[in-house]
Structure 1
Amino acid sequence: MFDDRSPIYQQIANGIKDEVLSGTLKEDEQIMSTNQYAAFYRINPATAAKGFAQLVDEGVLYKKRGIGMFVSPDARGRLRAQRRERFFADVVDPMLTEARMVGVGVDEIVAYLKDGAR
């Protein structure tokens, strides 16, 4: 599950975000504890806790004292908005810049996308 490209705690956070975005984890659903997560993936509990803490700081998860961690009610919508913004900044804007440099018009791009979507 984990690779060497980024810190494990970051991969944990990104994996949980992906599960929220895909609907695998629902809003207000309880998730595994950090100890359960650490045991399941055979990682240090402190590493799992650091990933969970990041998600709490970002508002993706919230704690119920004495009960556990839960997916925030608005997590999916906020994550979708963030990913959409990043998609346009990281994918669409550079594509449009390249298209302008090589003389491809927006209409041609739209036609190409529509044809490829079939």
Structure 2
Amino acid sequence: MFDDRSPIYRQIAEQIKQAILTGDLQEEEQVMSTNQYAAFYRINPATAAKAFQELVDEGLLYKRRGIGMFVSPGARERLRSQRRERFFADVVEPMVAEARAIGIPLREVIQWLEQREDEEER
């Protein structure tokens, strides 16, 4: 379930973010409590609480006093926007730099991508 590459609380936060992105968790939907999460995954409740607090700080979850944690309105779109920016910075910009370095015109890259899109639509 968890790996050694990053802290467990970050992995929990990423799992919840992914569930929001894919629609497995909808806006205004309640998420498991930190104690439920800790029991289910057999982790320290403080670890789960740290992950949830990170998501609250990012505006992706909010707490209803006495009820629990819920997915914030607009959380999915906020995540999509963040991931879109990161995609262009981490993937597209280096790809453009590499294409230029090896002499591939950007028009050719665009044509290649459009062909792949056409093939997927078939």
Q: TM-score range by the shorter chain?
A: over 0.9
Equivalent position of 2:13 in the other structure: 13
Return the offset for 1:116: 2.1
3-state SS, counterpart of residue 69 of structure 1 = strand
Identity value in percent: 69
1:28-43 aligned at under 5 Å gives the runs 28-43=28-43
Q: TM-score normalised to the size of structure 1?
A: 0.98
Q: Which runs of 5+ in 2 are unaligned?
A: none
Off by >6 Å, runs of 4+ in structure 1: none
RMSD between superposed Cα atoms in Å: 0.6
Q: Which runs of 5+ in 1 are unaligned?
A: none
Q: For the residues of structure 2 that align with 1:84 and 1:28, how far apart are their CA atoms?
A: 23
Q: For the residues of structure 2 that align with 1:42 and 1:112, how far apart are their CA atoms?
A: 47
Return the offset for 1:114: 1.6
Q: For the residues of structure 1 that align with 2:41 and 2:108, how far apart are their CA atoms?
A: 47
Q: How many residues align?
A: 118
Give a deviation string over 1:16-46, Cα, whole Å, max 9, x none: 0000000000000000000000000111100
3-state SS, counterpart of residue 100 of structure 1 = helix
Q: For the residues of structure 1 that align with 2:110 and 2:24, how far apart are their CA atoms?
A: 32
1:49-88 aligned at under 5 Å gives the runs 49-88=49-88
3-state SS, counterpart of residue 5 of structure 1 = coil
Equivalent position of 2:22 in the other structure: 22
